């Protein structure tokens, strides 16, 4: 008979995003934390049933940050700098917290810069929060804990 304690999985709403030199307090959603490895197929002579498959380049999906619009404009200003040709790359982390606010997992990303900004969708018949979106291009995502 099993006597191990069952541990509940972590919830996905308790997280934070850390970015070099940007003090954005909270985010509504973070997505795009995935990567894929290209497959290189090579046909070998004498092996006619299937090609050999080798790993190629690793590609990382852009991170998409969503937050409720407030008075701070640091993320928009960062994107605006890029549109003016001043690309400043930053490192950062997405940190998952447990119910007590302690870190349980961390994904570090490197050399990120904002490729796309989307302002909030506005609707006079809605009472939803105004959400801004920033899409970050980066050169690597690593789960470190």
Distance in angstroms (rounded) separating the CA atoms of residues 1 and 17: 42
The pLDDT value given to residue 13: 84
Q: What pLDDT is attached to residue 10?
A: 80
Query: What's residue 6's pLDDT?
Result: 79
Placement of tokens 């003016």 in the chain: 84
The reported pLDDT for the residue numbered 9 is 81
pLDDT at 90: 95
Nearest to 40 by CA among 61, 14, 21, 58: 58
Q: Which pLDDT belongs to residue 95?
A: 92
SS3 83: helix
pTM: 0.85
Rounded to 5°, angle at Cα 19 from 14 and 24: 65
pLDDT tens-digit readout, 100-119? 889 999 999 999 999 999 99
Domains of the chain: 15-143 (2.30.110.20)
Residue 106 DSSP SS3: strand
Hey, what are 104's tokens?
């349980």
Q: What is the CA radius of gyration of the chain?
A: 20
Asked if 40 and 58 touch (Cβ cutoff 8 Å), the reply is no
Residues with Cβ within 8 Å of residue 10, at least 6 apart in sequence: 96, 98, 104, 105
Q: Compute the mean pLDDT over every residue in the chain, rounded to the nearest whole number.
A: 91
Alpha helices in 34-131 (DSSP H): 74-83
Q: How does pLDDT run along the chain (145 residues), one tens digit per residue?
A: 566 787 778 887 888 899 987 867 578 999 999 999 999 999 888 777 889 999 999 999 999 999 999 898 999 999 999 999 999 999 999 999 988 889 999 999 999 999 999 999 999 999 999 999 999 999 999 999 8
The structure tokens listed for 79 are 């994107």
């Amino acid at each position: 008979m099993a006597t191990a304690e069952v541990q509940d999985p972590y919830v996905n709403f308790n997280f934070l995003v850390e970015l070099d030199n940007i003090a954005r307090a909270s985010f509504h959603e973070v997505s795009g934390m995935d990567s894929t490895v290209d497959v290189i197929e090579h046909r070998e002579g004498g092996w006619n049933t299937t090609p050999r498959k080798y790993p190629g380049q690793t590609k990382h999906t852009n991170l998409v940050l969503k937050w409720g619009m407030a008075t701070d404009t640091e993320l928009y200003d960062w994107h605006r700098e890029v549109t003016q040709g001043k690309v400043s790359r930053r490192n950062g982390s997405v940190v998952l917290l447990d119910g007590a606010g302690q870190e349980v997992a961390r994904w570090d990303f490197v050399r990120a810069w904002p490729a796309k900004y989307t302002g909030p969708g506005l609707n006079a018949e809605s009472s939803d929060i105004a959400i801004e979106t920033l899409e970050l291009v980066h050169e690597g995502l690593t789960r470190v804990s």
